[in-house]
Chains A and B, each alone.
Chain A
Amino acid sequence: AQSVAQPEDQVNVAEGNPLTVKCTYSVSGNPYLFWYVQYPNRGLQFLLKYITGDNLVKGSYGFEAEFNKSQTSFHLKKPSALVSDSALYFCAVRRLYGNNRLAFGKGNQVVVIP
């Protein structure tokens, strides 16, 4: 079975400062990792994914994530946070070769303070 841990409930950051949202995962075999963002009253929006290759993955809206196999982590980062980045962020994992079940983390509320 696969699982994801997002240790923080809420991440507060000042506008313009770097933003990091932490994620660690557990999966048998090679992982397929994702970050999604959810704005109020909307569905989940795909930000980026890691499957193989370069450990640093670049995604939408200036976000990037670094895959670290030894630490089983996939932290989401943005160099300079915007107020509009305030939202709920979900990390998710599935086995690279397996069924269509995604395991989501509990989510992190990001609040960017003007």
Chain B
Amino acid sequence: DTEVTQTPKHLVMGMTNKKSLKCEQHMGHRAMYWYKQKAKKPPELMFVYSYEKLSINESVPSRFSPECPNSSLLNLHLHALQPEDSALYLCASSHPAEIPLHFGNGTRLTVT
């Protein structure tokens, strides 16, 4: 089992809904990441938080809003998504200057 926990495992939402994805780790990592992955494709980096501060935003549309309330938690707030946003959303964590990344099992998001 992974040490990075993501909830929910599955989410179906309409284009007008607001929902949030949650990620939690207790490994003492100070860097946390959101990735988006389409089927059979590599993960695409969305955001990186380092010491609870947003350090990388890969030009992600504003309908995705990340939040890092503390060193163990990472949220991704979703609003007015499009069907093409349907994907597996992966959270990961690491020591800031080190990798490997430790990935959660993801949230499978379907936008209808």
Interchain CB contact under 8 A, B42 and A99 = no
Q: Interface SS of chain B: helix, strand, loop or mixed?
A: strand
Task: Kindly state the interface size class of chain B when it binds its partner.
Answer: 20 to 34
Q: Is B81 located at the chain interface by the 8 A CB criterion?
A: no
A9–chain B nearest beta-carbon distance, Å: 9
B87 on the A face (CB < 8 A): no
Main secondary structure, interface of A, reads strand
B69 interface residue per 8 A CB criterion: no
Residues of chain B within 8 A of A67, CB atoms compared = none
| Contact (Cβ within 8 A) A43 B48 | no
Contacts A99-B56, A107-B40 given; does A44 touch B103 at CB 8 Å? yes
Query: Given the interface contacts A100-B33, A101-B56, does A109 sit within 8 Å of B104 by beta carbon?
Result: no
Query: Smallest distance from the beta carbon of B42 to chain A beta carbons, Å?
Result: 4
List 6 A-B residue pairs with CB atoms under 8 Å apart, sorted by A's residue number. Answer: A32-B99, A41-B105, A42-B105, A46-B102, A88-B40, A104-B42
